[in-house]
């Protein structure tokens, strides 16, 4: 099969890696990175129309999209117009990630558990609301903000500043024209990704990512500094509740609104004392959750994704390993704040059988591999225990070097 993967991060490297296990697959990636280029032909195309033209010209059998921006901007609709097979939700369904107001309103209307919230399109009533309530709050820009749009306020002052930053200073641009202000939820976070073909939902193995930049969950939120699968706090009982009360209800709710959901439905959940509640929905694979999830997938990935496209997921058994997988992100010094790129990476060749290095922000130049982004590498291992997988990862990291490299030392610690 000829497959095109769109994106350039660790998530896309993991997808390409999994697809390449089937030697019949011929894989392209747009634009890819240094690691991906060892497994796929990388092409420098980023515009939706040009990607569709490429897929037509090369007779691509299946396209898989990583980043949400493409989905929210309608890449699936554009490909389908040309009769191409593409995995992911259409624009009218990707809005579940593209607009927090849409997602929250849908949940409220259909009784899907989530934090209480208010919506504002004017900063003055938003700030009056903050002054009136006496609970910890989270302020969220309505639109896409590269994973940075949710500001957990430690004080009223913080919340007022968040509204000012988002709505007046427009730190996330147009995404901040409106905000959701919701109650802060306490508990443990879990990422539940699922395959969905519009009717059938097949949850993937659960996972969790480590969002804060530094050990002990200190520092600013990042795209994710590490991940594990399965999530040790996600019991069978909780997973059944989530399947019926969140995943299934959401897909049915969308159907009620005349929207068919096909692709990955990713529920970011907080397991609170009152049960699981939705923090957010994403319309795509998570990063770095996908890295650990795909290490545990035993079924051919392309087969599942094609079954989703064809609306035939119920006939496609999806099997998972019982092992544990751990991923540690090596980031550029300074990330998620501004950082420098272009440093040479050494020590990548010492990979063992039970581990994989997924590249994120890397590029090749004159035979060397250089840093080219905030999150640079994902060091991943799978084993019978979290402890053993963690040991393999941290042993491998001892060999890897680039200037100003920083990473968390507490991923999968004490699990
Ligand atoms: P979101 O983009 O909505 O997923 O938010 C990003 C991160 O902010 C989440 O992964 C949580 O760590 C945190 N967060 C978001 N909403 C809440 C909430 N209501 N209560 C506590 N933490 C939250
Ligand atoms: N790791 C969080 C995300 O992919 O949105």
286 CA distance to ligand 2 middle (Å): 4
pTM of the model: 0.96
The two tokens of residue 362 are 């890397």
DSSP state of 409: S
DSSP state of 353: T
pLDDT tens column, 313-348: 999 999 999 999 999 999 999 999 999 999 999 999
According to CATH, the superfamily of the domain at 188-315 is ATP-grasp fold, B domain (3.30.470.20)
pLDDT at 147: 79
Where along the chain do the CATH 3.30.1490.20 domains lie? 117-183
Which of 39, 11, 8 minimizes the C-alpha distance to 26? 39
Which of 394, 390, 392 minimizes the C-alpha distance to 413? 390
DSSP state of 20: H
pLDDT tens column, 108-122: 999 999 999 999 999
Where along the chain do the CATH 3.30.470.20 domains lie? 188-315
Find the mean pLDDT for residues 286-291.
Answer: 98
Ligand 1 pocket test, pick from 116, 280, 289 with the greatest ligand atom count within 8 Å of Cβ, gives 280
Angle 14-16-18 (CA atoms, 0-180°, nearest 5)? 70
Distance (Å, whole) CA 120 – CA 129: 10
pLDDT tens column, 159-187: 999 999 999 999 999 999 999 999 999 99
Ligand 2 pocket test, pick from 221, 287, 291 with the greatest ligand atom count within 8 Å of Cβ, gives 287
316: left (phi over 0), alpha (psi -120 to 50) or beta: beta
Which CATH code of 3.40.50.300, 3.90.600.10, 3.40.50.1000, 3.40.50.720 fits the domain covering 324-406? 3.90.600.10
pLDDT tens column, 70-95: 999 999 999 999 999 999 999 999 99
For domain 117-183, the CATH architecture is 2-Layer Sandwich (3.30)
91 burial via Cβ count (<10 Å: 0-12, 13-18, 19+) = middle
Ligand 2 pocket test, pick from 10, 209, 227, 408 with the greatest ligand atom count within 8 Å of Cβ, gives 209
Question: For ligand 1, is residue 182 a contact (CB within 6 Å)?
Answer: yes
Where along the chain do the CATH 3.90.600.10 domains lie? 324-406
Where along the chain do the CATH 3.40.50.20 domains lie? 2-91
| Omega within 30 of 0 (cis) for the link into 230 | yes
Question: For ligand 2, is residue 8 a contact (CB within 6 Å)?
Answer: no
The two tokens of residue 64 are 């898989």
Residue nearest atom 3 of ligand 1, based on CA coordinates = 280
CATH 3.40.50.20, domain 2-91, yes or no: yes
Distance (Å, whole) CA 6 – CA 381: 24
């Amino acid at each position: 099969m000829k497959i095109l993967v769109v994106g350039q991060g660790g998530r896309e490297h993991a997808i390409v890696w999994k697809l390449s296990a089937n030697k019949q697959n011929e894989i392209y990636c747009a634009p890819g990175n240094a690691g991906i280029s060892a497994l796929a032909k990388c092409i420098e195309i980023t515009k939706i129309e040009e990607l569709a033209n490429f897929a037509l010209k090369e007779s691509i059998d299946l396209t898989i999209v990583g980043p949400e921006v493409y989905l929210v901007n309608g890449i699936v609709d554009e490909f389908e117009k040309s009769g191409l097979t593409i995995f992911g939700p259409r624009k009218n369904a990707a809005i579940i990630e593209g607009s927090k107001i849409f997602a929250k309103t849908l949940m409220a209307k259909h009784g899907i558990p989530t934090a209480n919230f208010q919506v504002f399109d004017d900063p003055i009533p938003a700030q009056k609301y903050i002054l009136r309530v006496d609970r910890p709050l989270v302020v969220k820009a309505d639109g896409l903000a590269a994973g940075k749009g949710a500001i957990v306020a430690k004080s009223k002052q913080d919340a007022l500043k968040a509204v000012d930053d988002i709505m007046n200073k427009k730190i996330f641009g147009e995404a901040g024209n409106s905000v959701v202000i919701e109650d802060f939820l306490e508990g443990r976070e879990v990422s539940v990704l699922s395959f969905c073909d519009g009717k059938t939902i097949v949850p993937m193995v659960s996972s969790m990512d480590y969002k804060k930049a530094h050990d002990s969950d200190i520092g600013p939120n990042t795209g994710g500094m590490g991940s594990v699968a399965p999530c040790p706090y996600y019991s069978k009982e909780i997973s059944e509740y989530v399947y019926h009360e969140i995943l299934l209800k959401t897909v049915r709710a969308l159907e009620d609104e005349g929207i068919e959901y096909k692709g990955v439905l990713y529920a970011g959940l907080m397991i609170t004392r009152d049960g699981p509640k939705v923090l957010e929905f994403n319309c795509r694979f998570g990063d770095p959750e996908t890295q650990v999830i795909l290490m545990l997938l035993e079924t051919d990935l392309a087969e599942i994704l094609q079954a989703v496209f064809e609306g035939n997921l119920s006939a496609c058994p999806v099997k998972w390993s019982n092992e544990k997988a751990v991923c540690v992100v090596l980031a550029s010094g300074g990330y998620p704040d501004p950082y420098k790129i272009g440093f040479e990476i050494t020590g990548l060749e010492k990979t063992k059988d039970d581990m994989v290095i997924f590249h994120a922000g890397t590029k090749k130049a004159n035979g060397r591999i250089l840093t080219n982004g905030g999150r640079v590498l994902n060091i991943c291992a799978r084993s019978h225990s979290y402890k053993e997988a963690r040991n393999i990862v941290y042993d491998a990291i001892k060999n890897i070097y680039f200037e100003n490299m920083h990473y968390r030392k507490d991923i999968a610690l004490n699990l």
